[in-house]
Structure 1
Amino acid sequence: MKNSDSRVLEVRVISAEDLSVNRRQPLKKNAFVVIKSEAQKIEAATTVDKDGGSYPSWDEKFSVDMPMHSRYLTAEVRCRGGAGGDRLIGSAKIPVTDFLGGLVPENYLHFLSYRLWDYNGERNGIINLSVRVVKGSPAAKVGFNAGGASCSSTQPWAGVPVADKVSSGGTVTGIPVW
């Protein structure tokens, strides 16, 4: 459920590439992806790809409610196991600055690929996905930028003189706060 302290993202998990188990043998089957938003217990998971091996594909879309203060999304590729449970194959933290803010138009669809890292911090494949801020979500309306570098305001930015500093300009720019 969407509230004013969050934004709605449309995340499509497309595929993964070059996945392996223990960095030695290619993944054979049963891969799936879990998408998590930072600081939330809510997760979205794809179905299990039983035949894709180390190059699985899902092409599944999720609507993710992401808090405004969040800095990243997490995508985890896992393998459905037997009695031992699910095994983490690799994960990627996706910074919100990769798909929010700046000069990107509202409702823009970003196609993104990220390196996956296993539990030992070793490279283990790539995940391909797309992300879109849903039109009408608070982030889309105000031009939110998680890094704070830009905003869609017509108010001028004010500078504050730097104490004991004489340099070219000697001014620190501030970030508008509403």
Structure 2
Amino acid sequence: MAANSRTLEIKVISAENLQLDRKPIKKNATVTVWTDGNSQFCSTDMDIDGGAYPRWNEKLVLNFPTHSKSITVEVQCKTSSGIRTIGTATIPESDFVGGYVPEGCKHFLSYRLRDHKGERNGIINISVRMNVHEMYACASSTTWSHSQMGFPADGNKSFGGGVVTGVPVWCGAYQKNY
């Protein structure tokens, strides 16, 4: 029996035009990301000098349960009166899984942030990659992760650690008998 374990690699790249009370923020922006139906979350370090256009370029890794259907990205700012939410974006799973793009590809996405009133308040730029690891149950009820199939190409990693795969073919299956 095989079960899937999914993780998301989310790179929080930058944000644009962040405002607090209709004024551009000056500093101390951070981003928190979580999945629906899961209490796990990750946060970036604080950008102390990016102002309304902060840059993080920080990779966050989250478990993405099979029942989850979206991730939430929230931008916050530390002010003298405490931590305030600048804006939030909910990203559906369909934006980074499925379709015509192969599994494991990185998606570069930009989303409009909405404040607590639902009004536009900046843009968040991220990249997302879904990694799926199959877990196999053995007769002794132990599990092991199998993430690649095949053999190393040329025995070295000089070509990005490529993997050679193939399908065995019986040559006699394609011969005609005359």
Q: Using structure 2 for the length normalisation, give the TM-score.
A: 0.71
Q: What pairs with 1:36-51 in structure 2 (closer than 5 Å)? A: 36-51=34-49
Which residue in the other structure is 2:104 paired with? 107
User: After the TM superposition, which of the residue ranges 65-74 and 4-13 deviates more from structure 2?
Assistant: 4-13
> How far does residue 137 in structure 1 lie from its aligned partner after superposition?
5.7
Which residue in the other structure is 1:29 paired with? 27
Superposed structure 1 runs of 4+ greater than 3 Å apart: 135-138
Which residue in the other structure is 1:73 paired with? 71
Measure, in 1, the Cα distance between the counterparts of 2:67 and 2:51.
36
Contact kept, 8 Å, 2:15 with 2:125, in 1: the verdict is yes
Contact kept, 8 Å, 2:4 with 2:132, in 1: the verdict is no
Higher Cα Rg, which structure = 2
Measure, in 2, the Cα distance between the counterparts of 1:116 and 1:97.
19
Contact kept, 8 Å, 1:5 with 1:67, in 2: the verdict is no
Which residue in the other structure is 2:62 paired with? 64
Q: What pairs with 1:1-178 in structure 2 (closer than 5 Å)? A: 4=3, 6-22=5-21, 24-82=22-80, 84-134=81-131, 136=133
Contact kept, 8 Å, 2:72 with 2:88, in 1: the verdict is yes
> How far does residue 39 in structure 1 lie from its aligned partner after superposition?
1.2
Contact kept, 8 Å, 2:17 with 2:121, in 1: the verdict is yes
Q: CA 1:132 to 1:72, structure 2 compared with 1: closer, same or farther past 3 Å?
A: same
> How far does residue 5 in structure 1 lie from its aligned partner after superposition?
5.9
Total equivalences in the alignment: 135
Q: 2:30 corresponds to which letter in structure 1? A: F
Secondary structure at 1:97's aligned position in 2?
helix
1:124-177 alpha-carbon deviations (Å, 9 max, x no partner): 000000000125368xx9xxxxxxxxxxxxxxxxxxxxxxxxxxxxxxxxxxxx
User: After the TM superposition, which of the residue ranges 7-16 and 127-136 deviates more from structure 2?
Assistant: 127-136
1:18-63 alpha-carbon deviations (Å, 9 max, x no partner): 00002x2101100000001111111100000010000000000011
Contact kept, 8 Å, 2:4 with 2:133, in 1: the verdict is no
Q: Using structure 1 for the length normalisation, give the TM-score.
A: 0.71
Query: Between Structure 1 and Structure 2, which shows a larger proportion of strand residues?
Result: 2
1:86-132 alpha-carbon deviations (Å, 9 max, x no partner): 10000000011001012221211100000000011100000000000
Measure, in 1, the Cα distance between the counterparts of 2:78 and 2:110.
23
The CA RMSD over aligned residues, in Å, is 1.9
> How far does residue 6 in structure 1 lie from its aligned partner after superposition?
4.4
Q: CA 1:127 to 1:79, structure 2 compared with 1: closer, same or farther past 3 Å?
A: same
Unaligned segments of structure 1, at least 5 residues: 142-178
